[in-house]
Chain A
Amino acid sequence: MMNKITFTRIAYPILITVLTYLPIVVVVIYSFNESRLSSSWGGFSLKWYRELFRDEDMFEALFNSVVLALSSSMLAAILATAAALGIKNANLPGKRLIERASLLPLIIPEIVLGMVFLAFYSLLGMKFGMMTLILSHTAFCVPYIYTQVSARLEVLDSAPIEAARDLGASGFMAFVTVTLPLLAPAILSGIFLSFAMSFDDVIISVFCTGVSVNTLPIRVYTQLKTGVTPEINAMCTLMLAVTVVCYAAAAWLRTRKPAKH
């Protein structure tokens, strides 16, 4: 009863994986379609890639999405890591309550979050744009990072930190040289997760953005509602290519480095 390969165990995951990639493969194939219509094949062409690279709005949206995902996941990482570290020792009134509250965005439907943010910013008279987007995305990124970091802190061995302090390291030095590296994997995986969530978010962004700022998901969403140009197939293909290259590079780095324990 060891972990071994049986027909069902391997056939079923393969079937689901094939179905997962089916629509992606279709989009990739159609990105090379000469015809504007997705119902007919007009021959192989790179036309839509040329169109895509000429489309400044699309690249601006992509740029906005990257800026948004980067800043909100970084901001959330700082807030969440500091809080996770401090919450054990802090004597603040109702700190567990505030811990729970900061995790709330995880269990509230996005549509509700979008609604409350919209109402809140308009009450404050804030200008809708990148700033409101970053604030909202930070709020829903915090739980992803907080849960990762606090789970890691639970099992963290305090001996190396105490050893560093005993050997004369200041609290700050011990934090930078010992605690932070030990927490880094958790912080990083939290950042990756929240980056992906922010980068892909449609619902909250639709409510929190102004007329002037488009993100990539919002742009694709508007196109899907009003009329699609095959450019977005090319965009999908490029995003897939970048992701696969990154994953392959990470896998290669893992195998090249001697396994560390």
Chain B
Amino acid sequence: MIKKAKGATLAVLPLYLFTLVFVIGPLILMLVLSFSPRDGWGYGSGFTLDNYAVVFSGTYLNTFVTSLKLAVISTAAVIFIGYPFGLCTALLPARFARFFVSTQMIPYWVNSLLRLYGWIIIFRAGGLLDAVLMGLGITEEPLKLLYTYPAVVVGMIYVLLPFMFTSVYQVAEKLDLSLVEAARDLGAGRAYAFLTVTLPLTLPGLKTGVILTFIPSMGLFFIAQILGGNKVVLVGSLIEELLMKAHNQPGAAALSVILMLLTGAVCLLMMRKPRWQK
């Protein structure tokens, strides 16, 4: 038994060390940096709250609010589109369900930026959407959708939807339909049966989906850059700018700490067991 434990320790050790050095180490550095004073292009030793003071000042705070708003809007849209999608698919015969699952997986393997480029072609002024709408006589002038807020939201939904779909599908697939049937037999209407049986039972999938959607949505700055032009500035872009252009590592670290606290809070909220399961 002792020998077995020794072998086991040896097997865990590489990941143990790797995690310590390449996950814990950098995260601690981030925390330290966020309290360090700037010194030219680098940072000095000492303790300061200046970086946080800057984060909570006007422009930065606005950017945070913009990002949070976009993340909430995108996550909500992904729930409303993705939840029924996962549920409907899970209720189909296996052959059909498999088809929809693999058609959602295939685009994963094609670069997401290349797929987003398709939306650029569609949204561009005088692009495909305009050509179709104007051809049908629905609109008179080009809509100029590219580089607008709605274009960014479409891009976010597009990239994040598969995560919600797969999380909901995986749980809904195991749903015991006889429970729904029982509720209906006992006189529950369609809506009531859904709210009291189907929804609570598939809620874990929905929550996983929210975690997998909300966390990246706070950081997906490239979508806002390429579909929103420079009109929509997100925390992600700000961190990138601070690091790559301003060489302000302490500032970027402070922003990252706040961002992590925010996504961490959402994670904890989602992972909390609902009252009836306690």
Assess whether A87 is in contact with B118, with CB atoms less than 8 Å apart. Answer: no
Q: How far is the CA of A183 from the CA of B253 in the complex (A)?
A: 39
Assess whether B88 is in contact with A119, with CB atoms less than 8 Å apart. Answer: no
Pick the interface stretch among B49-57, B58-66, B178-186.
B178-186
Assess whether A26 is in contact with B122, with CB atoms less than 8 Å apart. Answer: yes
Assess whether B26 is in contact with A86, with CB atoms less than 8 Å apart. Answer: no
B14 at interface by CB-CB < 8 Å: yes
Assess whether B106 is in contact with A115, with CB atoms less than 8 Å apart. Answer: no
A239 at interface by CB-CB < 8 Å: yes
A158 at interface by CB-CB < 8 Å: no
Q: How far is the CA of A120 from the CA of B259 in the complex (A)?
A: 18
Assess whether B113 is in contact with A109, with CB atoms less than 8 Å apart. Answer: no
Smallest CB separation, B160 vs chain A (Å): 12
Q: How far is the CA of A106 from the CA of B8 in the complex (A)?
A: 25
Q: Given A3-B94, A107-B267, A111-B239, A24–B107 Cβ distance below 8 Å?
A: yes
Q: How far is the CA of A78 from the CA of B107 in the complex (A)?
A: 27
Q: Given A111-B236, A115-B253, A98–B263 Cβ distance below 8 Å?
A: no
Assess whether B104 is in contact with A92, with CB atoms less than 8 Å apart. Answer: no
B91 at interface by CB-CB < 8 Å: yes
Assess whether B215 is in contact with A109, with CB atoms less than 8 Å apart. Answer: yes
Assess whether B178 is in contact with A1, with CB atoms less than 8 Å apart. Answer: yes
Q: Which A residues touch B114, using CB under 8 A?
A: 27, 220, 232-233, 235-236, 239
B156 at interface by CB-CB < 8 Å: no
Assess whether B19 is in contact with A236, with CB atoms less than 8 Å apart. Answer: no
Q: Given A82-B14, A111-B221, A13–B117 Cβ distance below 8 Å?
A: no
Assess whether A79 is in contact with B18, with CB atoms less than 8 Å apart. Answer: yes
- Interface of chain B, main secondary structure: helix
Residues facing B in A94-131 (CB within 8 A) are 95, 98, 101-102, 104-105, 107-112, 115-120, 122-123
Residues facing A in B14-65 (CB within 8 A) are 14-16, 18-20, 22-27, 29-30, 33
- Interface of chain A, main secondary structure: helix
Q: How far is the CA of A200 from the CA of B78 in the complex (A)?
A: 21
Assess whether A39 is in contact with B127, with CB atoms less than 8 Å apart. Answer: yes
Q: Which B residues touch A80, using CB under 8 A?
A: 15
Smallest CB separation, A103 vs chain B (Å): 9
Smallest CB separation, A202 vs chain B (Å): 6
A42 at interface by CB-CB < 8 Å: no
Question: What's the interface size class on A, roughly?
Answer: 35 or more
Q: Given A82-B15, A89-B4, A111-B259, A135–B85 Cβ distance below 8 Å?
A: no
A260 at interface by CB-CB < 8 Å: no
Q: Which A residues touch B15, using CB under 8 A?
A: 79-80, 82-83, 98, 102, 142, 146
A64 at interface by CB-CB < 8 Å: no
Task: Give chain A's interface residues, CB within 8 Å of chain B.
Answer: 1-5, 8-10, 12-13, 16-17, 20-27, 30, 38-39, 78-80, 82-83, 85-92, 95, 98, 101-102, 104-105, 107-112, 115-120, 122-123, 135-136, 138-139, 142, 146, 171, 196, 199-200, 202-203, 206-207, 216-217, 220-221, 224-225, 228, 232-233, 235-236, 239-240, 242-244, 247, 251
Kindly list 15 other residue pairs between chains A and B, CB separation below 8 angstroms, not including A82-B12, A86-B8, A89-B7.
Answer: A1-B178, A3-B91, A5-B93, A16-B81, A21-B103, A26-B122, A27-B118, A109-B218, A119-B30, A135-B22, A199-B111, A217-B113, A221-B226, A224-B226, A247-B106
Q: Which 9 A-B pairs have the closest CB atoms?
A: A23-B118, A86-B11, A109-B219, A89-B8, A111-B219, A83-B15, A116-B26, A236-B114, A120-B26
Task: Give chain B's interface residues, CB within 8 Å of chain A.
Answer: 4-5, 7-16, 18-20, 22-27, 29-30, 33, 81, 84-85, 88-89, 91-94, 96-97, 100, 102-122, 124, 126-128, 158, 161, 177-178, 180-181, 184, 211, 215-216, 218-222, 225-226, 235-236, 239-240, 243, 249, 252-253, 256, 259-260, 263-264, 267
